[in-house]
Amino acid sequence: MSAQDQEDVYFSTNPPPRHLEAHAAQARAFIDAHAAAGRRVVLVTSGGTTVPLEKQTVRFIDNFSAGTRGATSAEYFLEAGYAVIFLHREFSLTPYARHFSHATTGGFLDFLEVGQGGGVSARPDVSTKMVEILSRYHTARTENLLLSIPFVTIGDYLHELRAISRLMASLGPRGLLYLAAAVSDFFVPPERMAEHKIQSTDLGKRAQEAAAAAAGQDLNSADSSKQDSEEEEFDNFDSSPRVPRSKRLIIDLDPVPKLLLNLVDGWAPRGMVSSFKLETDPTILVTKARYSLERYQHHLVIGNLLATRKWEVVFVSPGREDNWLRVKRRGREWSEEDVKRLRQGEVPKEEPGEEIERFIIPAVKELHDQHIKANK
């Protein structure tokens, strides 16, 4: 099947999110305003996508991403003069708020206190930082430099990504797509998705079947909760305690179509496209990043390892040497041995001395400068 056919099939069979049109209208107005002002616009994607197991979703598959990379990058892009569309997983980290909403030292309310006059004020020890971050946030909001658009599921994400990327096309090479979201590679297609909560007991399954029979329906045969009792067998593949098949939840996932090629060729063909590649095995990171670059013909892949992603990333781009960016260590220099261990995925004991996005964004901007020059 061609890339275009895959795209058509996916988008015609997976319903769009409820607010897609409203989000697209917001994005259009935002892009038009900044295009008129000659400002660059970056679309930052951030956080994980969920994979619902039921149409009326009680359960879903998720991934680890908290959206730190995306939210932090958005701040540095704003600092670098970009207008930012922040397409993020709902309730994940957001620019500026992240400094207080997900702190390891306490929740948001722990940073506040009731003052003498009865009003609320920042705790004295965090007040300077809060004023500084609040003022950066207010500037971004009042100057209309930050547009936040949420998604939840993999389907929502892909619909939103396509709609916004197509709008970004009007920016030509001045548009930048910075794809940092952790996007699921697998999903349950609608025709195999249970309508209702998947039942774990025989009673629940029988009740569902009886209700469906009374309504003259055949229960969705693709419902993963429904098992053919004729086949009731113990079919363990290993030595774990024997569980009858009907008591198990066997989830059958399809691959999510790879739509990066469609984005690069069709949705935003003149913009600069940079994606992230996440791996856990250090021996394959650069090979996979190069492979992605060749397969999708875009402009930059930023490789990172799950364990060391806050310490080091590698820029892989066409015609250039691999470029490793690394943060400083607190109170000591990197030795050759330290770097070797880091590259093998060994995490230093202390926290990073700074945010690696401080280095990533200027390096991306430099490549974007070159992209604009080359595509004028």
Binding site for ligand PAZ (CB under 6 A): 65-69, 180, 182-183, 276-278, 304, 309
Q: Which is nearer to ligand PAZ, 19 or 258 (CB)?
A: 258
- The candidate with the shortest Cα–Cα distance to 83, out of 21, 145, 167, is 145
CB of 161 to ligand PAZ, least distance (A): 13
CB of 276 to ligand PAZ, least distance (A): 3
CB of 156 to ligand PAZ, least distance (A): 16
Distance between CA atoms of residues 172 and 376, nearest Å: 9
Q: Which is nearer to ligand PAZ, 45 or 225 (CB)?
A: 45
CB of 277 to ligand PAZ, least distance (A): 5
CB of 184 to ligand PAZ, least distance (A): 8
Q: Which is nearer to ligand PAZ, 127 or 280 (CB)?
A: 280
Other beta carbons within 10 angstroms of residue 143's beta carbon come to 10
Distance between CA atoms of residues 373 and 290, nearest Å: 24
Q: Which structure tokens are listed for 350? A: 């202390």
DSSP string for 237-276:
SSSSPP--GGGS-----EEPP--HHHIIIIISTTSEEEEE
Q: Which is nearer to ligand PAZ, 112 or 347 (CB)?
A: 347
Locate all alpha helices (DSSP H) within 264-335, ordered by sequence: 285-296
Q: Which residues contact 35 (CB under 8 A, 6 or more apart)?
A: 41, 170, 171, 174
Neighbour-count burial of 289, counting CB atoms closer than 10 A to its CB (0-12 exposed, 13-18 middle, 19+ buried): buried
CB of 283 to ligand PAZ, least distance (A): 16
Q: Which is nearer to ligand PAZ, 72 or 225 (CB)?
A: 72
Distance between CA atoms of residues 55 and 331, nearest Å: 52
Q: Which is nearer to ligand PAZ, 182 or 193 (CB)?
A: 182
CB of 278 to ligand PAZ, least distance (A): 3
Q: Which is nearer to ligand PAZ, 85 or 183 (CB)?
A: 183
